[in-house]
Structure formats: C-alpha cells, structure tokens
Amino acid sequence: MLSYAVRRLVAMVPVLLGIAFITFALVSFAPGDAIRLMLGSESVNVANVERLRRELGLDLPWYEQFWNYLGDLLRGDLGTSITSRQPVADQIFQRFPNTLVLTVASLVVALLIAVPLGVMAAANHNRPGDYLAMGFAMLGVAMPNFWLGLVLLIVFGLELRWLPIRGIGSLEEGLLDYLSHLVLPAVTLGTSLAAILTRLTRNTMLDVLEEDYVRTARAKGVRPRAVLFRHALRNAMLPLVTTAGMQFGALLGGAVIIETVFSWPGLGLLSINAIRQRDLPTMQGAVLVFAACFMVVTLFTDLLYAAINPRIRYG
C-alpha cells in the first residue's frame, strides 16, 4: 500500500513537467501578452516597456524562455510575477489554503446533501420523494454557479442580511465568523456537485437494492433503515467516491468563478487576474499547483477504495 502510494507520487513528476510544457506552449502561442497590453495604453512609455520586456526575458524565443523556466522550476523557483513583481511561490502559497478550504467545504456540502437525498429518492422510487430529489438534481445542474452565487448573495447578504457578502473570515474572530463567511461560497460551489451525486447515489442505490443479498437481508427481517444504510449504501459508495474524486477537478475549476463572486482570496482569483494580465509566471504556477492538487486527490481516491471495499488491495 505504502510502496504503491510512493510509486504513484514519483510518477507525478514527469506528468507535472509535461503539464508545465503544455501550458507554457499553449500560452506562448495564444494571442495577447503582458507587454502588448502595456503598449496599448494611451500614455505608455515605450522605451521603459521595451526594457522591461528584455529584463523579464520576454524577448527570447518561447523554447528558450521555457528552458530558463524549467531550470528555475527544478531549483524550486516558480519565478516572479510580471504585474506585482513579487515571487509567484509566495503569492500561491498565501492563497492555496483558502482554495483548499473552499473546495473541501463544498465537497462536504455536496455529500451532506447528495447522500441523504439520493438514498431517500431510491427508497421512495417513483414516489413524490423521488420526484422532489430528482427535481433538485435537475435544477442544481442547470443553474450556472456564478448566477446562483449572485442570487444567494443578494438574498442572504443584501436582503436578509444574515450572512456576509464578501471575503474570508478570520479565525481570530472566532469559528462562527469564519464559517459564516464560508457558507455561501461553499453552498454555491457544492450545489451542482450535490446534484450530480444525488442522481448517482439514487441510481446506484436502485441497482444495489435489486441485489440478492438485499432481498436476503429483507427476508431475514432486518429493519428497512438498516438494509438501506448498512447493506445497500456501503456498496453504493464506491462509484460515489470515484465520481466525487473526479469531480474535485471541476470543483477547482468552479472555485475560479466562485472566488470572484464572493471575493474569496484564493488561487482561482489569482489565476483569473494572471490570465487577464497575461502574467505568464503566475498562470503557470497556478496551473501546476491545480494539477498537482488534482493528482493528489485522485491518488487519495484510489487509496480510499481499499478502505471502503475490502476486496480491493494495492500491492
């Protein structure tokens, strides 16, 4: 198990290098660059901008730039932001924990909604409870999350004034303050995943409920609740965990938007601004961290299988 995990971690290195290469090439060939943006300003100081271009090595061909970048990367240096002139690593690690908190919280929200709702739907197959759950699932997937975020923000932040509309809470002000800031973004980000997982839970539960051992359990006179949760749900969890793990990538992507709506100081916002400004080193750093994060979560998901299903073993 341990050696398996280590092997998987080592295998990440070439993947990350590949990702670094692909993003670098993509960005280099995509139209628009930071220097051109500066040159477009009506009052621009052309001589100083051209000097900056040379100082930052942006006048070199892209493969030379990539070679230099790679050298820095292997020394653990993510470079310096073009716009803020601050080290990229500092900027990323200030914000990364905030994004992690947000995505994990929304994963928790999604599971807290999806599992009970999906089980309820399966238990009430083709009855009102089922329709209600599937209605939610449909709505949750259909609503764009930036729109849902704005609606929640206007209702709970502006009209009812129950929750803060922006920013991250401070733990120094107490856990309640921190959580009150987290609720809206986590619910917004978690809703579409909750919808997907609700559907999935319902369908796998329906399959499992048809299985022989469930019928046997029922025939033995096990209480319906115990049949549902102890016998059926545990087996239905496996595809749920896979999907939740795979969807973590989507959560990271969604965080980019949700962080903007809720002024959440995370990595998503940093990347959005970097993309707008064509701040290549910051973009590159953020993509690498996102990718690494996704790979770690995938590994974690695989390891979790073994914990949930004793029939799976890694050697």
Partner 1 sequence: MKEFLRSVGVGAAILALSLTATATAQQHGGTLRIAYTSITQLDPFKTAANDEINAASLVFDPLFIIGKDDFQPVPHLAESWEAIDDTTWEFRIRRGVMFQDGNEVFPEGQAREVTAEDVVYSIERFLEVSTAFTLGDITSVEAVDDYTVRITTAAPDPFLVTDVNRLARVVVVPREAVEHFGEEGFARNPIGTGPFELRSFVPDQLLVFERNEDYWLDPYLDRVEFVFIPDPTVQTIAVEAGEVDVVPYLFNIDSVAQLQETPGIELYPRGGSYRGLGFNVTTPPFDEFEVRDAISKAIDIDAAVAAVVEPFGHRAYGQVPPWVEFEQDPTLAELWEYDPQEALEVLEGIGFTRGPDGILQRDGQPLRFAIKTIAGSQVRVLTILVTQLRELGIDASLQQQDTAVWAEDLQTGNDTGVFFDYSFAGTTGLYSLFHSSNNGRTNTHFYSNPEVDALLDEASRTVDFTERNRLWLEAQRLIMRDRAAIPLYFEFGYSVVSERVHDWVVPWGGLHLVSLENNVWVE
Q: Under the criterion CB under 8 A, does residue 75 sit at the interface with partner 1?
A: no
Query: Looking at 194-202, 204-212, 244-252, 271-279, which segment touches partner 1 (CB under 8 A)?
Result: 271-279
d(CA 268, CA 96): 9
Nearer to partner 1, 78 or 153 (CB): 153
Task: Decide: helix, strand or coil at residue 301.
Answer: helix
Pattern 158-197, partner 1, x by CB under 8 A: x--x--xxxxx-----------------------------
d(CA 68, CA 28): 14
Q: Which of 31, 61, 128, 315 binds partner 1 (CB under 8 A)?
A: 31
Count of residues in contact with partner 1, rule CB under 8 A: 50
Nearer to partner 1, 49 or 308 (CB): 49
Token pair of 37, please?
Answer: 């943006």
Binders of partner 1 among 219-258, rule CB under 8 A? Answer: none
Q: Under the criterion CB under 8 A, does residue 17 sit at the interface with partner 1?
A: no
Q: Which of 11, 15, 25, 45 binds partner 1 (CB under 8 A)?
A: 45
The residues with which 80 forms a beta bridge, in sequence order, are 87
Q: Which of 10, 14, 40, 172 binds partner 1 (CB under 8 A)?
A: 40
Nearer to partner 1, 49 or 299 (CB): 49
Q: Which of 2, 3, 13, 42 binds partner 1 (CB under 8 A)?
A: 42
Task: Decide: helix, strand or coil at residue 87.
Answer: strand
Q: What one-letter code names the amino acid at 86?
A: Q
Query: Looking at 9-17, 89-97, 127-135, 193-201, which segment touches partner 1 (CB under 8 A)?
Result: 89-97
d(CA 100, CA 93): 11
- Cβ-defined contacts of 248-254 (< 8 Å, 24+): 248/103, 248/107, 248/294, 248/297, 249/294, 249/297, 250/193, 251/103, 251/106, 251/107, 251/189, 251/193, 252/99, 252/103, 252/290, 252/293, 252/294, 254/106, 254/145, 254/189, 254/192
Q: Which of 65, 94, 180, 309 binds partner 1 (CB under 8 A)?
A: 94
CA nearest 192: which of 244, 259, 125, 263?
244
Binders of partner 1 among 277-296, rule CB under 8 A? Answer: 277-278
User: H or E element: which one contains 98?
Assistant: helix 88-123
Q: Under the criterion CB under 8 A, does residue 124 sit at the interface with partner 1?
A: no
Q: Under the criterion CB under 8 A, does residue 101 sit at the interface with partner 1?
A: no
As measured in angstroms, the least distance from the Cβ of 36 to partner 1 is 4
Would you list the DSSP string of 160-178?
S--S--SS---GGG-HHHH
Q: What are phi and psi of 87, to 5 degrees?
A: -60, 135
The residues with which 87 forms a beta bridge, in sequence order, are 80
Place of tokens 């621009």: 44
As measured in angstroms, the least distance from the Cβ of 288 to partner 1 is 20
Q: Which of 28, 65, 124, 273 binds partner 1 (CB under 8 A)?
A: 273
- Interacting residue ranges for partner 1, rule: CB under 8 A: 30-34, 36-46, 48-49, 52, 81, 83-86, 91, 94-95, 150, 153-154, 157-158, 161, 164-168, 260-263, 265, 269-270, 272-273, 276-278
